[in-house]
Amino acid sequence: MAVIKQLNRFCGVLVLLAVSLCGLNASRPAVNQELSTLFNELWQLDENRMRPGIDYNISVQGRASFVSPGNHVVQDHASLPLFSSVDENKLKNLTTATSFMKLLDNYEFSTGVAERVTAEEQTETNLFLDAVLQTEVMKRTHRYLVSKGKSSSNLRLFKNQLHLIWFHLYHRQRNTSPDSCGFEHVFVGETKSGTEIIGFHNWIQFYLQEKNSHLDYKGFKARMNDLPDQDDHVLSLQFSWHGLVKPVGSAFIGTSPEFEMALFTVIFLMNTERSTTVLVNIDQCQMELVVIRHGRALGTAYPKLLSSNSRHVRQHSH
């Protein structure tokens, strides 16, 4: 434990160093310290996170090749699945993950096809939000948003606010009935009229689709001198889904649905721009979190890994 603490402190120093060096590069925004502090607290509170090498194992395999958008024939640089094993007993035992998985088949795959919400689906959404609101992660998030004047302290009103941001149906395509919502886009994934994968930034959905052979992992994406490893909690990936290719998709790995919702909800409510990018340090990673609005609801949200500090430490010690 003491060794890990010291290593963490050491990493912290390296992060500061890296940040001050990056600070010379004016094009990159500064690290948001307040949100980094909050998100690290949420990271500590996330008891529903699955542990790499214990609760699940991944195999990143080869580096994916460049694919131009719209091209759906690509070379496969990963003959094996990304997820070699996931402890499903553990996953199904987590209340938020269980109610989360029930929502994954509630949506029409393609934009331009109207969403029909059945009473059963409404109940599932409600149960999911109730489960999320009971977690320490979302309780802390709620307190933060109330302290900033962005949310009501009334739990029912906060739940309505989460519902509007994540589940309010809207048009992604003109001349149709509402065909999308933030939750579907970010956590389930959809296609733009059946020709292009859009959204799809969740690891549980990735794992389940891969397991059912609807999805084929093609390899990782990373900077030339960087290699992801199996305990990274953010990855950039290339994959095909129902015959369409996503050239680069980025997702948290192992984190709980409430953790991801909490981060993106905070950024959504703390900003008013259509598109917001926040630079944060979480655990031993530096990442950008991107949030794009769709009116009063969420359009999309995803993480982009900039550096994983534990990796730099390991490289220096060789």
Residue 263: left if φ>0, alpha if ψ -120 to 50, beta else—which one? alpha
Asked if residue 229 lies in contact with residue 57, where contact means CB atoms within 8 angstroms, the answer is no
As measured in angstroms, the least distance from the Cβ of 88 to ligand NAG is 9
Of the residues 53, 118, 224, 318, which one makes contact with ligand NAG according to CB under 6 A: 53
CA distance 277 to 60: 27
Kindly state the number of chain residues that form the binding site for ligand NAG, as judged by CB under 6 A. 11
Active-site positions read: 185, 201, 246
Q: Which is nearer to ligand NAG, 53 or 149 (CB)?
A: 53
Q: Is 90 in the site for ligand NAG (CB under 6 A)?
A: yes
Which range, of 65-73, 79-87, 235-243, 277-285, touches ligand NAG by CB under 6 A?
A: 79-87
Distance CA 181, CA 201 (A): 14
Residue with tokens 């949310």: 151
**Of the ranges 48-56, 130-138, 175-183, 269-277, which one interacts with ligand NAG (CB under 6 A)?**
48-56
Instruction: Tell whether residue 93 is a contact of ligand NAG (CB under 6 A).
Output: yes
Instruction: Tell me how far apart the alpha carbons of residues 20 and 13 are, in angstroms, rounded to a whole number.
Output: 11
Tell me which residue has its CB nearest to ligand NAG: 85
Selected range binding ligand NAG among 6-14, 58-66, 84-92, 275-283, rule: CB under 6 A = 84-92
List C-alpha distances in Å: 224 to 19, 27, 79, 93, 221.
Answer: 20, 21, 21, 39, 9
- Select from 57, 65, 271, 276 the one that contacts ligand NAG (CB under 6 A): 57
Minimum Å gap between C-beta 78 and ligand NAG is: 18
What is the C-alpha separation between 17 and 158, in angstroms, rounded? 39
Reference 305, options 204, 219, 226, 239; nearest CA is: 226
Whole-number Å distance between alpha carbons of 309 and 46: 20
Q: Which of positions 210-239 make contact with ligand NAG (CB under 6 A)?
A: none
Q: What's the closest the beta carbon of residue 230 comes to ligand NAG, in angstroms?
A: 9
* Per CB under 6 A, 56 contacts ligand NAG: yes
Footprint of ligand NAG (CB under 6 A): 53-57, 85-87, 89-90, 93
